Structure 1
Amino acid sequence: MAFTVCSSYCITISIVLVVCGVVVVPSHGATESELLLAVKDKLHTKELSSWTPSTTPCSGRKANWKGVLCNNGVVTGLQLEGMGLKGVIDIDSLKGLPNLRTISFMNNELEGPMPQINKLNGLRSVYLSNNKFSGVLPDNAFQGMVWLKKIYLSNNKLTGPIPEGSLTKLPKLMELKLDGNQFTGPVPNLPQTSLTSLSFANNKLQGPIPDSMSKMPSASFSGNEELCGPPLGECKNQNQDQNQNQNQNNDDKRMHTTMSIVVVVVAVVVALIVIAVVMFILFYRRKQAKKRETESSMESQEIGAPQLRKGKSNQFGNEIRSRSIRSVSSNHSRRGGDHMKLSFIREDGEKFELHDLLRASAEIMGSGCFSSSYKASLPKGQMIVVKRYKQMNNVGRDEFHEHMRRIGRLNHPNLLPLVAYYYRKEEKLLVTDLVKNGSLAVRLHGYQSLGLESLDWPARLKIVKGITKGLEYLFKDLPSLIAPHGNLKSCNILLTESLEPLLCDYGLIPLINQELAKDIMVVYKSPEYLNNGRITKKTDVWCLGILILEILTGKFPENFLQQGKGSEVSLASWVRSIAPEEWTKEVFDKELMGAIKTSEGEMVKLLNIAMACCEEDLEKRWDLKEAVEKIEEIREKDQEDDFFTVADDADVGSTRTLSGEINF
């Protein structure tokens, strides 16, 4: 009897611990250090030299070992990306880590059959893309992983059918990336309503796409020649069925009586009345909304961005007006408790509460279809910028917190650091320090209205070099993102008082509602997306090239996109249409003409680099590393012994060697 009571008591305590989310620390068997060292022994790399028996993996939230994620002094994740790892993943040792929630071994050299990750049934995220895993995935590959939300297996060598049996039983699945493999058979019919992002592209799948996925982007299924049905082309059998149904419908119509016609007419009239009422209500609400807030005609009006309209390229939004953030987020005041707390990234800065922001006097700095920006003064005098995002409604709380912490760990002189963030289902707030000098867009296109001097050649070169350094850091520290920045443009580059550029709005593609991302993010204006419905690692390089062209020409890229009238026309296309011998007169910003005598050769070199970054053919387009190396070689003044050739690498224009003077 005593034994029974004790057992019941222990079981009850265990249930309470699980329900309350208490971190479980192993009290017997191998320690976390011993388990991770066993994992290290089976991975051939020199990158894990910090993993030593003399230290512990975690100290509170701080990780002492490279690639280890910690919380409350225990290991919660592994992020071993881009380390050239070979060997095998010791799943049996990882089983001994009860608090493990995420693993990422992306961008390595791991090969062989897929690891038995279903032994780690507490995982939320699995990132194994860009390795060399091969063979067939068993149907129970994900069996029992009821907490799993993200599966990334892109660009491996996996074959056979997709394991539908276990995938359909993952109730929390949100993201599934299986593209770039050799899967065969049909696309599985996944019932999860939580699924917001998936990709089966570039496999060998066959048959019709399930109706439940018909509203997904076509890029999610491209590269499978034998797939059919929405959002791809219709299936042949489906067309035959539709023709038969159409014939049957025609026969039915011939049999309708006069009474049936009367019924139809009445129904149409009623429907028209309902539609008219709905349209009136929508029109009235829209009219009222326009009275309540100032809206920009372009999304590019973000932090300090100019209002650039056709024929008015030098006019700016003077609609900045004082208003309280309370009027924008008044619905926050009706909520309390944990929902009202800001999450801080930095520990060394001034702390403040959400209600401080709601009481703060603020100025609206810009408003677009992506976000609205407000400059606020805190009670102690600190000036901050609050960005309110409108198009992140599909991301869950855990995913948002995890991604924000990842962005918050980034640290580089050319990145604007995140101070704090706030999550609600309906909206998200990101808080940063105020950069008083404004954006690069303002300095390039609105300096006259602000009473400032134009940026000279040394300043523009300094800005370009700073931007490339920041982008290079993002590529290194966010390797799992297909486009680490995703929205690189002049209004997302802030300038310090010394004209050092700070990149902002970076790393947000995974959070944006996918159905609207193509209308918001710059990467979706690239040739590879417009032509093939996809983006790659080189898409950010294309954005960099367009940005450099904007800096050199002084012309706003969006003006060229508007000229397309159905077919996108880029700033690079305009430069390409001008003969190289006319570049000095026609392409460069007139404000740079004073530097032509001493720096023309270096300016042309930078222009050639930008064109190599804007090459439409992905195979010919430079990668970021090559672009950074060439940009670092650019000097403020021409050098007699400096040689540089672009056409051999990027096929940009005609071959030319630049040395001292420019010969076309």
Structure 2
Amino acid sequence: MFFAPTVSQLEMFTLVVLLSLACNFLVAPVSSVTDEGSVLLTLKKSIITDPEGSMSNWNSSDDTPCSWNGITCKDQSVVSISIPKRKLYGVLPSELGSLSHLRHLNLRNNYLFGNLPVGLFEAHGLQSLVLYGNSFSGSVPNDIGKLGYLQTMDLSQNFFNGSLPATIVQCKRLRALVLSHNNFTGYLPHGFGGGLSSLEKLDLSFNQFNGSIPSDMGNMSGLQGTVDLSHNHFSGLIPASLGDLPEKVYIDLTFNNLSGPIPQTGALMNRGPTAFIGNSGLCGPPLKNLCAPDTHGTSSPSPLPFLPDNYPPQDSDDGFGKSGKNKRLSTGAVVGIVVGHVVGICLLGLFFSYCYSRVCGFTQDQEEKGFDKGGRLRKECLCFRKDESETLSDHVEQYDLVPLDAQVAFDLDELLKASAFVLGKSGIGIVYKVVLEEGLTLAVRRLGEGGSQRFKEFQTEIEAIGKLRHPNIVTLRAYYWSVDEKLLIYDFVPNGNLASAIHGKAGLATITPLSWSDRLKIMKGIAKGLVYLHEFSPKRYVHGDLKPGNILLGHSMEPHISDFGLGRLANIAGGSPTLQSSRVAAEKSQERQRSLSTEVSTGRLGNGYQAPETMKVVKPSQRWDVYSYGVILLELITGRLPIIQVDNSEMDLVQWIQLCIDEKKPFSDVLDMYLAEDAEKEDEMIAVLKIAIACVHISPEKRPIMRHVLDALDRLSISSD
């Protein structure tokens, strides 16, 4: 049934319409921003999270966007958008291409994802496109050829795939093309060298480009620095025209599938073998393998590019990851070694017997019962000063324990009455395993015994560390500070450290080998912990001393990074800053001398885990941790110690791997002998080895960030499922 509206209803409807129009008329002038401002607000809407408020002053009520954060204008037109390293999470809208005066777009080191919108390339005046260090994926659109004024394009450290569009050669003004650490595939476009003759910087490393290297690349006469084509699948001969590049240019062709003789022309002459390693088919100077008269650039395949078919026998291994020498020892030498070991063991037995009677002081009855005079479980007895073997309460003043976690349900009195077992000691202090009466197990580290003048500094530092919460980082639960005692209370991690898991424990002849699946789990867990420290912790921390000895293993062999910030806390707790700094300086000086004696030419530190630049740079960098992580990967793959004895000299693990590559040793010589049972996982092992080699690159800038390392390991796991 239809009802006709009454007059009063029509009047009411008319009034509502008029009021609505009036409101629109009054409100409309509020949004007075220019068309370009509206486009930028579209970008703001496309950003899902902006934790640092980078776009907080982007308001539609402004007359112009020229005062907005990250925006630069010229003649009231937007010419630059630059918001790097601000943790922006979102996508790019295609509307950005309508900014006709846009010259520079810099959004590096954020969390942007998705494809590059085709509409972006309608900004024909764009001169620089810098998007490295994000999570973009997909292919680069063919419309890239529309950017005739483009001079810089850096898309490195993303997840781009597909082939490089042929239209890239139309960007004839391009001076810097950086595409490293992506998943690009296919051949380089025809005319790549001739079309991009203005290039000054070219980095295509760590992709999956294949086919031959374009012969016209020799036309790029403006190239400078390093031309990096490494870690791809380029095949065939090295074009002799590469020698036409400026002689100062370093051409990095490592880890491809290149074959045949190395041309001895121009920029290719007088290069060391390191520029060509990882190409099993290459021959001739500067490599040791000469070209056979009938060679046509082919060679039989092998598990790794540097693995020949004929190779020397695998080095012997003593079960603790230490390589023996290749030469056989004479009978007299063997007898001498055995006698020496017997005498040494006897002397050590007498020495420990003396320490036991003088220091430990346990009675026969106590040893049998396993309890001390106070009824508590006897502590592990080692040869150290007597005051170090006493209970914690012997030295602690009765101040309050400071909890850093709401779940801390014990107090100082319970802690001091608990059973304590010495786990280990170092220059930073003793570590105890402490078992409370209700069964809770903790790890307690005693720090220095200095004064209390730096308490506020200690408090600030430790409470910042106490806020870190991640499954792969050991949790600091509480602390205690007094004039004579400083204690750090952590969760106890039961399965020892990674160093013992790889190489065995001192004094034990047997070792339980880690399976490949456990090793891969450990690799990924460490990477997750470092990503958290580097990108999601409040101060984007650097660990600075990462090594297997401070990676603890849980019940299921999950890794927990420990000792984070410990050096800083020990420095503060050590009392007099002057005395402490002098001690630290002396220790660093001794360490430097040891490292110089190990390897002067490379500048690497003697412990094998620290990056080469730590000898020169004072301020720690996240790239230091990446290098250390790379060494740990090598250690997990090879089962070798970080310092290796080769003939009569020592070298670190990174140098040894490079030597194996140079000498074309088979993968079986590189691989830990305990991983032989996981032969079906060899492809994974090779992939991890390549990741490790990338992490220990001598140039910090060429090392991947930990987020991309973790992504690579995750993709590896997915592909193997």
Q: TM-score under structure 1 normalisation?
A: 0.44
